[in-house]
Chain A
Amino acid sequence: EAQVTQNPRYLITVTGKKLTVTCSQNMNHEYMSWYRQDPGLGLRQIYYSMNVEVTDKGDVPEGYKVSRKEKRNFPLILESPSPNQTSLYFCASSLKINREIFFGPGTRLTVT
């Protein structure tokens, strides 16, 4: 089944403890991206990647890192999480930019 998977789905952590949210897609998509969703602010893009080893900042990249070493994986790294990064995170992929975008199920992160 064609899908985008994210892990973990739920995470509660403490300020400053490094964490990684994994994202994987099985559709051989070139384009992948990360969004966060907060009440009243909608979906905002954090980072995106046009292809392997090609990444760029979205609208809210501060406090996040990404890497794209393989086509299928696009992990989101929070080196030193802070409470303002408490949010619902979505990974997404598409064959090309702005073709049909597939979203993952979301990761609900709480930083205390």
Chain B
Amino acid sequence: DAKTTQPTSMDCAEGRAANLPCNHSTISGNEYVYWYRQIHSQGPQYIIHGLKNNETNEMASLIITEDRKSSTLILPHATLRDTAVYYCIGAGNTGANSKLTFGKGITLSVRP
């Protein structure tokens, strides 16, 4: 069962913020929201994850709504190298809900 839904694609201008949405209304209280990205057939790359608080690292920010039904990954200053498929995944850390299931993701195209 897909735990998350994402738009198929989006684009943004180079240098602008890219805001990638994700709906996860069915994830349980102990399941994290993970974001990975995959640049053209390379191995997926971890970006960030969070449970209920907003998170920020050197790559991106993750904003999770208070009801945890959706979240937004923010790339603050998108570059052409950020063009990739971005996967939003809901998973726990133990037991049966710990498996990371990669869906189709959202294809982000950064235009010059």
Contacts A42-B105, A92-B44 aside, 7 further interface pairs with beta carbons under 8 A come to A43-B44, A43-B102, A97-B94, A98-B32, A100-B49, A101-B44, A106-B41
Chain A facing B: main interface SS: strand
> Which A residues lie within 8 Å of B45 (CB)?
103
Number of interface residues of A (CB under 8 A): 20
B: contact size bracket: 20 to 34
Q: How far is the CA of A44 from the CA of B99 in the complex (A)?
A: 11
Beta-carbon contact of A98 and B92 below 8 Å:
yes
> Which A residues lie within 8 Å of B43 (CB)?
4, 90, 92, 103-106
Beta-carbon contact of B46 and A98 below 8 Å:
no
Chain B facing A: main interface SS: loop
Beta-carbon contact of B100 and A105 below 8 Å:
no
> Which A residues lie within 8 Å of B98 (CB)?
97-98
Beta-carbon contact of A105 and B42 below 8 Å:
yes
Residues of A within 8 A of B (CB): 4, 35, 42-45, 58, 88, 90, 92, 96-98, 100-106
Lowest 10 CB-CB distances: which A-B pairs, in order?
A103-B43, A43-B102, A100-B46, A103-B44, A42-B102, A98-B93, A90-B43, A97-B98, A104-B43, A105-B43
**Nearest neighbor of A41 in chain B, beta-carbon distance:** B104
> Which B residues lie within 8 Å of A43 (CB)?
44, 102
Is B91 part of the contact surface with A, judged by Cβ < 8 Å? yes
**What's the nearest-Cβ distance from chain A to residue B31, in Å?**
10
Beta-carbon contact of B41 and A88 below 8 Å:
yes
Q: How far is the CA of A58 from the CA of B42 in the complex (A)?
A: 21
**Nearest neighbor of B34 in chain A, beta-carbon distance:** A98
Give the contacting residue for B99; candidates A42, A45, A92, A104; CB below 8 A: A45
> Which B residues lie within 8 Å of A101 (CB)?
36, 44, 46, 100
Is B15 part of the contact surface with A, judged by Cβ < 8 Å? no
Q: Give B77-111 interface residues, CB cut-off 8 Å to A.
A: 91-94, 98-100, 102-105
> Which B residues lie within 8 Å of A102 (CB)?
46
> Which B residues lie within 8 Å of A97 (CB)?
93-94, 98
